[in-house]
Amino acid sequence: MPQLDTSTWPTMILSMFLILFIMLQLKISKHNFHYNPELMTTKTPKQNTPWETKWTKIYLPLSLPL
């Protein structure tokens, strides 16, 4: 029964990593990145509350006339 020749395995593994690295670099280089992202302003809807339409004044006990 012949033995398995493993002398070429390190070369194959290193070449596989090199090819995967090159493929990843090529894939990333074709991707378009946004260089200057701008913030989008979101408008919050205004809620109508009953106390906004009325004029109210808070009277403190010390501000009352004597």
Tens-level pLDDT at each residue, the chain (66 residues)? 678 888 899 999 999 999 999 999 999 998 887 777 777 777 777 766 666 555 556 655 665 565
pTM of the shown model: 0.45
DSSP 13-55: HHHHHHHHHHHHHHHHHTSPPPSS--PPPPPPPPPP-GGGSS-
Give φ, ψ of 41 to 5 degrees: -85, 130
CA–CA separation, 56 vs 49, rounded Å? 13
Question: Which amino acid, 24?
Answer: L
Cα angle vertex 6, ends 20, 18, to 5°?
A: 15
